[in-house]
A and B are shown apart, each in its own frame.
Chain A
Amino acid sequence: MPDTHHHPSLLDLELARTGEASAEVAAHVRECAECQAALQQLAGLPEKLFTPAAPPGGFDRGKEEAMFAFIRRRAADIRAQRSRRAFRILPAWLKVAAGFAVAGVIAALVYVTRPPHRAESASTGTVCAALPADDLNRDGRVDILDALALAQQTQGDRSPEVCRLAARIVSLNGGGAG
């Protein structure tokens, strides 16, 4: 007959729950309804401890998402305002210099990527460079002998075609300097 007046301590009850209690304590727990009830409470305790608490009444997950979305939008607005303000506080001369720098870069790009000037301008006297197509005698060089070949074809050493080719050949813009 177990001693129902001396209930085991909480530690002994826990040991009884896990099967590690002494035989005397185990026998008491088996016979004592009060200790059985306490043991059941102990058994449910870990589950209660690690179960997240239910949200308070009236909590709406949709409102929470809307609130975070508002905060994100507001933060983005503040960042944009800061960057605009940073440009506004720049000195005027720096803005003008930046504008000139951008224009200079664009002009340089336009100049570098322009098509090569190949036309001959009679008004300015500008003569373009001789072209590989001017190698009429097919000797791998563009020189006065090509103009001579052209002159012999056109029956005239001062025909406009010959003069234009000869002008290209003597041009300092990459003419037939050899």
Chain B
Amino acid sequence: MTAHNTKHETRNAKRGWLLFGLLLLAAVSGRAAAAAGVVESATPRFETRELVVDSRGAVGLAAWQVELKYDPAAVAIVGVEGGAAAPFGPDKPPFYDPKGLTAGRIILANLTTDGKLRTGAQAVAKLHLRITAPGEPKIETKVVAAGTAAGARIKATAEVKKKS
């Protein structure tokens, strides 16, 4: 009877050590996997950028259309607002296709019939970005159209930049 109990205890002790080993292995591998995950994907950060259109002259800007291209794996647009001041201020967000928020390409455009137009460089839209890649996201701009209140086409430039 005593010998039988001793044998039983020995077997239980072996099982306990085996279970402990397995738990230890799982914990170590879990930490390693978590560490690897941190290395592979950076923590996303949310930032804003301004879309600035420069009409490069004394003529007021009444309408603009800009195409943006970006890497959807590195950045996503999570929101679009109006610019800093009238006539393309916060109360007049630009037109855009929601599909462009994550497609890597988006077309923004806006127009105004207000009498007071601004000349030179002006922030016409505000972009809310979700950035998942380290460093500054690269967003290409292309002015598709820009015009005066009379509907005349003018040359303009555009860029996406941090608010100064």
Contacts and interface: CB of A to CB of B under 8 A. Distances in A.
B30 interface: no
A166 B64 CA distance: 11
B144 A178 contact: yes
Contacts of B142: 178
Contact of A151 (B103, B105, B108, B111): B111
Interface stretch (A56-64, A94-102, A136-144): A136-144
Given A145-B63, A148-B147, A169 B95 contact: yes
B151 interface: yes
Contacts of A158: 92
Contact of A152 (B67, B96, B106, B113): B113
Contacts of B111: 144, 147-148, 151, 157, 162, 166
B124 to A, nearest CB: 11
Nearest to B142: A178
Q: Which of A125, A141, A148, A169 has the most CB of B within 10 A?
A: A148
A123 interface: no
B109 A139 contact: no
B112 interface: yes
Interface of A: 125, 127, 137, 139, 141, 143-145, 147-149, 151-152, 155-158, 162-163, 166-167, 169-173, 175-178
13 contacts: A141-B145, A144-B63, A145-B151, A147-B109, A147-B111, A163-B95, A166-B95, A172-B105, A175-B97, A176-B65, A176-B107, A178-B144, A178-B145
